[in-house]
Structure formats: C-alpha cells, structure tokens
Amino acid sequence: MTDQSYIYGINTILDTLKYDPDLFIEIYMKENSDNKRFKEIIFLATEKNIPIRKIPKSKLDKLASTAKNQGLAALIKHKDKYDSKSAIKYLDSLDNPLVLILDGLEDPRNIGACYRTANSSGVDMVVIPKNRVSLDSPVISKVSSGASELTNTAYISNLSSFIKDLKKIGIWICGSSDTAMTNYNEIDFNQPIAIVIGSEGKGIRHLTEKNCDYLVSIPMRGQVDSLNVSVACGILVYEVLRQRQYI
C-alpha cells in the first residue's frame, strides 16, 4: 500500500480538513470554480498552510480517477495503519472496545459506507484482512465522507489468528449470518465486542465463522431475504450503542 493517495469530493475534503488537516499534502480545485463551500475549504487550507492549486477539469478528473469529483481533489498522506501486534496492544488499553471486522468485502462503496457508520458511531477500530482490498481507492474515501482516513484501521495478514488474539484480551466475537438462529438484539453488547460483517455474496468465511462466539441474524419480513452489508453493519453497530445507552 502506498503512503499517499487522492481523495475527492467537497464533504470528504471538508470533513478531513476539519478533523485531521495534517494528512494533506496539496489540494486541487477546478479552474474557474464558483462554489460557496470552496471558500470554507480555501479558508481552512490557508489557515493550515496547505497548498491549493487550480487545475483544468481534465487533469482533476485524472487525479481523482472519476469525473464525479465536484471539482475538488486532494493528495493526502495515509494515517499509520495498525498491524496485528500494535492493534491488540491498543485495544487492550481500552475500557470497553467496539471493533468492526470487514471479512472479505471487496466493493469499495460498501467498504466506504461501513467506514462512515464506524466513524459516526465511535467504533474503536476497523479490521481489514490484508490482500483482500486496497484502501487506496478514492471511492472509499468519497463514500465514507473521509471517515476511512479518520478511523483507526488494522490491516491484518491472518484474520483467524488475530481473532484468537482478540479473545485472549477479553473481546467477544459476534458474526453476522443470514442462517443464524439468534436474533441480533438477543446478544449482550455491554461487553468488549467485535462485530464481523462478511462479503457481499458469500458472507463471513467458514474459518472466521468457526471462531465466532455468537452468530446473529437480522429478521426479514418481506420477499427479499438479505440486506446490503453496509445496512446490516449499521443495524448491528447501533444496537451496540443502544444497549450501551449511548443513544
């Protein structure tokens, strides 16, 4: 994974500027742009001494890898990612950690949406298996509204081994499965917990499922028998917050 990447979109860049301005290397704006929100971005960037360049739309589209960039892109440094050892050390220092494990997700839009949920709900760490997905995708940053750059992330080589290490420090593992017989709101989430969300088509992998302490499902009442993974992620994470009386 490279040390730098491009993000794009007004909300993504504005939110990242507000909460983690040190990530920015340079901001690029479309020539002859006239957008009120650009003025706020220019003000914040100038305040933090972040260079701003006006460039042709064709060049901006190339940097962002999409024409749907709202006339704005930025080159940023990646936040340090945790490995297995540093992630366990960090989580072990927390009082009642909430972890989100994305087991095999590949669609950058779903990953971005899960990151947005994770950040907005105060998830302590998102865990992603190495070599399954690249976090360099600007789509992830755009869909997450910058949350993928602001949220603690562990990039893990061996997920099964990492889950066992999570258990050793007292974190329970709760996997989401369409075939589970236990309703998601029957689990006690007032304990250190890791929520596992599986891939778009196959769900969580067999070895991951074997290592789960709980398997839960979300009841379906209509003809469609499953939810988009990012929607399922939101339901489960906010059930944790509800039980912990954070909402």
| Domain 84-243, CATH | 3.40.1280.10
Per-residue pLDDT tens listing for the chain (247 residues): 447 778 888 988 998 898 889 989 999 999 887 778 899 999 999 999 999 999 999 999 998 888 989 999 999 887 778 999 999 999 999 999 999 999 989 898 999 999 999 998 999 999 999 876 666 677 888 888 778 888 899 999 999 999 999 999 999 999 999 889 999 999 999 999 999 999 877 889 999 999 999 999 999 887 776 788 999 999 999 999 999 998 6
What DSSP string describes the chain? --SEEEEESHHHHHHHHHH-GGGEEEEEEETT---HHHHHHHHHHHHTT--EEEE-HHHHHHHHTSS-STTEEEEEEPPPPB-HHHHHHHHHTSSS-EEEEEES---HHHHHHHHHHHHHHT-SEEEEETTT--TT-HHHHHHTTTHHHHS-EEEES-HHHHHHHHHHTT-EEEEE-TT-SEEGGGS--SS-EEEEEEBTTTBS-HHHHHT-SEEEE----SS-----HHHHHHHHHHHHHHHTT--
pLDDT in tens, 72-97: 999 988 777 899 999 999 999 999 99
Report domain extents, the chain: 4-77, 84-243
CATH match for 4-77 among 3.40.190.290, 3.40.630.30, 3.20.20.70, 3.30.1330.30: 3.30.1330.30
